[in-house]
Amino acid sequence: MIVALLILHGLLAVALIGAITHQAISVWLPAPSATGSFVGRVRAVTALSYVNAVVALYVLTAILGGILYPSYRLSVRIVLEQMQLFTANGLFELKEHFVALGLGMLPAYWYFWRQPLADNYARTRAILTAILAFIVWWSFIVGHVLNNIRGFD
C-alpha cells in the first residue's frame, strides 16, 4: 500500500513539476508567438491555464506526502541517521519546511493569477511562480534521491 502511494505521490509530483515549469518559463522567458522549436513552444504557452492545476496538484501531492511521512520517519530517517547521512537528512528537513511555506503562499499565488490579470501584480505573480517552481523542483529531487538511497523493501 505504501509503495503504491509513493508511486502515486511521484506521478502527481511529475505532473506538478510539468505544470509549474511550463508556467515559470512562459512568465520569465515569454515568446510572443509559438515558433517551430520545442523551446519556442514551451515559452509561448498560456501561463494562466496552469494555475488551477498547480494549486490542485500542489495540495494533493502535499497531502499524499503527509500520509507517507510517518513511514519515512519510522523506516527511512532512522536508516539515514544510522548511516550518518546528515546531508541527506538535512535536505529532507529543508524539503518539509519549504513545502509547508509553499502551502502558505498558494492563496496569494491563486489570487494574483485570477482573471483579469492586473498589470500592477505582474512582478508578484512572476516571483510567486518562481518560488513555487523552486520548491517543487527541490522537493522532487530530494524525494527522488532519498528514495534511491533507501530503495523499496
Partner 1 sequence: MIAARCLPVFVITFAIVYTILYVVSVEYNLALFTYHPAAEQFHFLVKPATDGPAMYWYGWMATAGLGACLVAGFVSWIPVGTFSRLWSGLSWAIPLGAMAFFCYLLRSFFIR
Spatial CA neighbour of 57 closest among 124, 131, 136: 136
Among 32, 36, 74, 116, binds partner 1 (CB under 8 A): 74
Q: Does 142 bind partner 1 (CB under 8 A)?
A: no
For residues 23 and 59, what is the distance between their CA atoms, to the nearest angstrom?
17
Whose grid coordinates read 509549474? 20
Grid cell digits, residue 103: 502551502
Q: How far is the CB of 103 from partner 1 (least distance, A)?
A: 7
Quickly tell me which residue has 509553499 as its cell.
Answer: 102
Q: Is residue 2 near partner 1 by the rule CB under 8 A? A: no
- 119: which 3 cell numbers? 498589470
The verdict on 83 binding partner 1 (CB under 8 A) reads no
Please pick, from the candidates 50, 58, 112, 113, the single residue that binds partner 1 as defined by CB under 8 A: 112
Query: Which amino acid is residue 59, in one-letter code?
Result: V
Q: Which of 21, 131, 147, 150 binds partner 1 (CB under 8 A)?
A: 131
- Rule CB under 8 A: say whether 98 interacts with partner 1: yes
- Give residues in contact with partner 1 (CB under 8 A): 66, 69-71, 73-74, 77, 86-87, 89-91, 93-94, 96-98, 100-105, 107-108, 110-112, 120-121, 123-124, 127-128, 131
